Amino acid sequence: MCNPASFVVTKERVFWSKKTNSHSDIVIEHNLYASGVNGVNVVNVELVPTNMQYALPVEQWHFRTDQCEVPDWYDEEDAERRVRVELPEWQKYHCCSMDNRIESARQSGGDYVIQVAAQSALQSCGWNSTQVARQSSVQCASEYAMQQSSDCSYQQAADQAVQSSGWLSVQHAGSQAMQRTSQSSVQIATHYALQSAHDRGLQVANEYAMQRAGYSATQVAGNYACQHAASESVQIAGNDSSQRAGNRSVLSIGRCSVQVFGDGSTVRAKASTVQIGRSREQALERVTRVVGEEEADKWYFFESGVWSECTDAQKLAAEKAFNRAIEWARTPLPDPETYVTETKVPSRVGG
Q: What is the pLDDT of residue 95?
A: 67
Question: Do you find a cis peptide bond into 271, omega within 30 degrees of 0?
Answer: no
Please report, for residues 26, 68, 295, 330, 351, the alpha-carbon distance to residue 250 in angstroms, rounded to integers and kept in the order given. Answer: 51, 61, 16, 19, 33
How much is the pLDDT for 341?
60
The SS3 call for residue 72 is coil
Where do the DSSP E strands lie in 22-113? 35-36, 39-40, 43-49, 61-65, 97-100, 106-108
What values do phi and psi take at 258, rounded to 5?
A: -130, 130
- CB-facing half-sphere around the CA of 135: CA atoms within 13 A: 13
Mean pLDDT of successive 10-residue stretches along the chain, which has 351 residues? 86 89 91 86 92 80 92 95 93 71 70 77 79 85 85 87 89 90 90 91 93 93 94 95 94 95 95 91 78 95 92 95 89 71 51 32
Torsions phi, psi for 168 (to 5 deg): 50, 45
pLDDT computed for residue 38 by the predictor: 81
The pLDDT of residue 208: 92
Compute the distance between CA of residue 229 and CA of residue 62 in angstroms, rounded to an integer.
52
What pTM, to 2 d.p., does this model score? 0.75
Task: Report how far apart the first and last C-alpha atoms of the chain are (Å, whole number).
Answer: 51
Provide the β-strand partners of residue 47.
63
Give the pLDDT score at 20.
80
C-alpha dist (Å) from residue 202 to 106, 153, 171, 221, 262: 29, 15, 10, 11, 21
The backbone torsions φ and ψ at residue 36, rounded to the nearest 5 degrees and listed phi first, read -145, -160
Q: How far is CA 161 from the centre of its chain?
A: 6
Residue pair 66/77 in contact by the 8 Å Cβ criterion: no
CA distance 105 to 136: 11
All structural domains of the chain with their residue ranges: 6-94, 96-170, 199-332
